Amino acid sequence: METLEEKIERVLRDRVELAPYDPTWLARFEEEKAHLLSCLSDRLVTRVEHYGSTAVPGMTAKPVVDMLVEVASHEWADECVPSILQPPTYDYFRRPLDDGHYPWLIKRNAAGRRTHHIHMAEKDSRLWEGLAFRDHLRAHPDDAEAYRELKLRLAERHPGDRIAYTEGKTDFVNAILAKAGR
C-alpha cells in the first residue's frame, strides 16, 4: 500500500508538458461531469464547472481538464469521495487553502497519465475566482495570448517542477483577477 508521502512524491514527479488547444477537452469535461454526477450524491455535489486553461478556446495548456465541483461540505467530501473515486484511477488529496483545506483529485487514464484535476470547493471558497479568470481570458484575447506566452516560458524553465511552474503564474493570475474586479 502506497503511503501518503510516496503518493505525493509520485505526483510531484509528473512533468510539466503543454499541448496546443484541443477541442476534445470540452467533451472530456462533459463526460467526467456526467460520471461524477452519476456516482456522487446530489446532496454532496451541487455544481460542476470547467475551468483552467483547457476551458479557454485556443489556449495552450497541460492536457489535463480542470474541474471545479461545488460540494455541500469539505468534511462530507472527505468522508464520502475516497471510497467512491478510488485508486488507481483517482488519487485523492486534501490541499491546503487559507486556514483549512479542500479535496482535490487527480484522475489518470490506463497508461497512468493525468486526464483531470478535480477541485472540490464549498460555494464560498475563493477557488471560485477561477471562473472570473477563465471568463476574462475568454473575453480578452490579448490577455489570453500573454498568459499563453508566460506558460510556455515557465514550462521551458521548469519542466520537472510543477510547483515552480504554478507559482510562476501567480502574479499574472492576480493581475487578471484585479482587472476582473475580484
Its pTM stands at 0.88
Distance CA 79, CA 77 (A): 5
Residues making up the chain, counted from first to last: 182
pLDDT tens digits along 4-53: 666 666 666 678 899 999 999 999 999 999 999 999 988 889 999 999 99
Percent of the chain with pLDDT over 70: 93
Q: Are 89 and 108 in contact (CB under 8 A)?
A: yes
**Which domains are delineated in the chain?**
4-179 (3.30.460.10)
* 5 or 132, which is more confident: 132
pLDDT tens digits along 39-96: 998 888 999 999 999 999 999 999 999 999 999 998 999 898 999 998 889 989 887 7
What is 73-128 written as a DSSP string?
-HHHHHHHHHHHS-TTTEEEEEEEETTEEEEEEEEE-TTS-EEEEEEEE-TT-GGG
Report helix, strand or coil for 58: coil
Report helix, strand or coil for 70: strand
